[in-house]
Amino acid sequence: DIVMTQSPDSLAVSLGERATINCKSSQSVLYSSNNKNYLAWYQQKPGQPPKLLIYWASTRESGVPDRFSGSGSGTDFTLTISSLQAEDVAVYYCQQYYSTPRVTFGQGTRLEIK
């Protein structure tokens, strides 16, 4: 199985500041035939199910604020929140969907307000 490793495990950022979460896969999730990275990001607030934020590593899901952006390729990916808002406090997960059916998630990164 592809192992997804996120860093850091937790992060505290001041309101209005940038938050950056990293995700590394144990093998490439870039599919050469279509040049797409099979990498998604989810946000999970306390007591709620996960919410899809970004797929294909950098495409925002409909309705997701543009302060959320994804980048990276191959094995190294980043989720960036450009200006942290109070409602962004959550745990964030990356997921690879390259190796199906054995899709796997990162361990999660807890984002808090400093």
Partner 1 sequence: EVQLVESGGGLVQPGGSLRLSCAASGFTFSSYEMNWVRQAPGKGLEWVSYISSSGSTIYYADSVKGRFTISRDNAKNSLYLQMNSLRAEDTAVYYCARSRSFLEWLFDYWGQGTLVTVSS
Residues forming contacts to partner 1 in the complex (CB under 8 A) are 40, 42, 48-52, 55, 61, 93, 95, 97, 100-108
Residue 33 or 100 with smaller CB distance to partner 1: 100
Whole-angstrom CA distances from 76 to 21, 38, 39, 57, 72 are 11, 12, 10, 10, 6
Whole-angstrom distance, CA of residue 88 vs CA of residue 85: 5
Residue 59 or 83 with smaller CB distance to partner 1: 59
Whole-angstrom CA distances from 108 to 16, 20, 23, 85 are 22, 13, 9, 19
Q: Taking the complex as a whole, how short is the minimal distance between the CB of residue 17 and partner 1, in angstroms?
A: 26
**HSE of 107, CA atoms in CB hemisphere, 13 A:** 8
Residue 16 or 46 with smaller CB distance to partner 1: 46
Look up residue 92 and give its amino acid: Y
The torsion angles phi and psi of 86, rounded to 5 degrees, stand at -60, -35
Q: Taking the complex as a whole, how short is the minimal distance between the CB of residue 114 and partner 1, in angstroms?
A: 23
Q: Taking the complex as a whole, how short is the minimal distance between the CB of residue 16 and partner 1, in angstroms?
A: 29
Q: Taking the complex as a whole, how short is the minimal distance between the CB of residue 35 and partner 1, in angstroms?
A: 16
Residue 5 or 83 with smaller CB distance to partner 1: 5
